[in-house]
Amino acid sequence: MNTPIHNTISVGSFEQLPFYHLTVNMLECVSTHNFDVLSRICDDDFGIIDLDTQGKSVVVANRQEWESWFRSLFAKLDTMRAKTSSEVLNYQALQTTEMGYSVLDFCQNLEVDGFVGKFYCVATIIWKKVGEEWKESRWHGSLIRTEPENLLQQFSQ
């Protein structure tokens, strides 16, 4: 299930924390538009709260909406000829035998026609054990700030 890490860098040493490698794999799947691997990592029983290319919250309630959301997001990024990459700024996690919880502070870079915008985000992730594998069960991402500050106005024009 692991994908190579190409577009995600980390400013700390988080590799030993629970779910870190799965979290990085999710970020990588978004960068590479790898729907198949992303869908194997994520169950999202309770849906997700994600961010669109303009930094607005998107509520995705169930698996069917999840699949539609990521297929349309990847198609939109392809149409924009956008490249994305991520930088993990901070990561914390707790794990029990059947459940886990992590908080991810990251910067999502969005490059379009040579212009790079930075979306500084925090995501809360709930993990669950399914058989012998861990699955992401709930993602809630929030936008903290952008660089440049007027990034959202620039992308909405």
d(CA 38, CA 41): 5
pTM for this model (two decimals): 0.89
Tell me: the pLDDT tens digits for 105-149?
Answer: 999 999 999 999 999 999 999 999 999 999 999 999 999 999 988
Q: What is the mean pLDDT of residues 79-104?
A: 95
Tell me: the pLDDT tens digits for 42-81?
Answer: 998 889 999 988 888 999 999 999 999 999 999 999 999 9
112 closest CA partner among 151, 146, 141 = 151
Q: CA torsion sign, 7 to 92 to 132 to 138?
A: negative
Confidence of residue 154 (pLDDT cuts 50, 70, 90): low
Structure tokens at 152: 């959202």
Structural domains of the chain in order of their starting residue, each with its CATH number: 8-156 (3.10.450.50)
d(CA 92, CA 84): 23
What DSSP character marks residue 7? S
